[in-house]
Amino acid sequence: MINLHWLYVLAGAVFAGFALGSARDETNAKRWGNAAFWLLLTVSFWFGDYVGDIGNGVLVLAIVAIAGFHLIGRGSKQSATPRERQESSARRGNWLFLPALLIPFTAFVGTLLFNYTPLKGLNLIDPKAVTLVLLGCGVIIALVVSYAWLRPPLLAAIDEGSRLMNGVGWAAVLPQMLASLGVIFAAAGVGTTIGSIVGAIIPQGSMFLAVLLYALGMVVFTMIMGNAFAAFPVMATAIGIPILIHADGGNPAVIGAVGMLAGFCGTLMTPMAANFNIVPAALLELKDQNGVIRAQVPTALAMLAANILILYVAGFHL
């Protein structure tokens, strides 16, 4: 039966490809740092179950050290010249998006077929991981189609993949690191501690102040963790459930949904949300790494004000 274990094997193979492509890039003065960075991630995905908690912790520290000492960077090697890329784009047009679209198509259609046809009874895929497994299958199918159709050099996927990921750098693994941080915060009882502090300083019956602290707390913790989904359990435990819902009688649907939206305002204003703010800047080769964030701050603040108003009015007065 295909389960998440095989997805980890596939992900490890991808990182191993990045390591190989990095080592092959003679134009990059930091190619061995890049290779070590991706190779350590490969070890984590392939052998994480065997090295234990301490071993994985050492791997993480080594990865952080490589990035912290600026031992990773990008080279100038490309598998095709800009002219060749332009000619290919002009010749094939929007059909070039086909391989990328095959990935979500495979995941979506495959999940429907698995759930509503006799395929479910064959026990080929773990029911708990159907969509993720099919997403991985979509990646493999897209890769095969790309090679059969475009006929690039044999190692083009490895070289171009490593070039792209080395351009993004350490930010590529930041979401994984931040997810771990969220688990640590929850296990440490941060939400309960914050709730005790807030409960002591908020005057009895001051709903607006509680709403304000809840929304701002979602923003701050999202900016720290880089993800509103990681911040939500902390602030829901601290203020959302015990104060806004139980003590003040707020609408749970509004408190939950709009609280998440308030957190997303923080996503727009933090480099910790690397996949939204740092990766696009790297891919677009912007001179200002925080250019995307600077452009989003006014919108984020306006949305935050609107969300606070919605929380107060819709959560308690409608």
pLDDT in the model for residue 119: 72
Domain boundary among 170, 203, 222: 170
- State how far the alpha carbon of 216 is from the alpha carbons of 27, 51, 263, 264, in Å: 46, 40, 8, 11
In terms of domains, do 163 and 229 share one?
no
In terms of domains, do 135 and 198 share one?
no
Q: Which domain holds residue 107?
A: 4-170
Question: Which pair of tokens denotes residue 100?
Answer: 């990328």
Distance CA 272, CA 194 (A): 22
Cα dihedral sign, 173-264-181-187:
negative
In terms of domains, do 12 and 140 share one?
yes
One-letter amino acid of 25: D
Helix (H, G, I), strand (E, B) or coil at 125: strand
Tell whether 181 is covered by a domain.
no
Percent of the chain past pLDDT 90, that is, above it, reads 37
CB atoms within 10 A of CB 210: 24
pLDDT in the model for residue 61: 92
> What is the number of structural domains in the chain?
2
In terms of domains, do 272 and 307 share one?
yes
In terms of domains, do 199 and 228 share one?
yes
Distance CA 311, CA 2 (A): 44
In terms of domains, do 165 and 30 share one?
yes
Give 2's DSSP letter.
B
CA atoms within 13 A on the CB side of 113: 11
Distance CA 165, CA 297 (A): 27
Q: How confident is the model at residue 302 (pLDDT cuts 50, 70, 90)?
A: very high
Tell whether 183 is covered by a domain.
no
Q: Which residues pair with 2 in a beta bridge?
A: 125
Angle of helix 190-201 relative to helix 207-225, nearest 10 degrees, comes to 150
In terms of domains, do 131 and 205 share one?
no
Mean pLDDT, to the nearest integer, of 70-80?
80
Give 287's DSSP letter.
S
Q: How confident is the model at residue 219 (pLDDT cuts 50, 70, 90)?
A: very high
pLDDT (tens digit per residue) in 220-263: 989 988 788 778 888 888 888 888 998 888 899 999 999 999 99
Q: Which residues pair with 125 in a beta bridge?
A: 2
- Residue corresponding to tokens 């993800």: 227
In terms of domains, do 28 and 153 share one?
yes
- Asked which of 65-74, 85-94, 165-174 is least confident by mean pLDDT, the reply is 165-174
pLDDT score of 124 more than 70 = yes
pLDDT score of 159 more than 90 = no
CB atoms within 10 A of CB 313: 12
**Residue 146 falls in which region: left (phi positive, over 0), alpha (psi -120 to 50) or beta:** alpha
In terms of domains, do 251 and 163 share one?
no
In terms of domains, do 156 and 228 share one?
no
Return the HEC string of the chain.
CECHHHHHHHHHHHHHHHHHHHHHCCCCCCHHHHHHHHHHHHHHHHHHHHHHHHHHHHHHHHHHHHHHCCCCCCCCCCCCCHHHHHHHHHHHHHHHHHHHHHHHHHHHHHHHHHHHCHHHHHCCECHHHHHHHHHHHHHHHHHHHHHHHHCCCCCHHHHHHHHHHHHHHHHHHHHHHHHHHHHHHHHCCHHHHHHHHHHHHCCCCCHHHHHHHHHHHHHHHHHHHCCHHHHHHHHHHHHHHHHHHHHCCCCHHHHHHHHHHHHHHHHCCCCCCHHHHHHHHHHCCCCCCCHHHHHHHHHHHHHHHHHHHHHHHHHHCC
Q: How confident is the model at residue 179 (pLDDT cuts 50, 70, 90)?
A: low
The whole-chain average pLDDT of the chain stands at 87
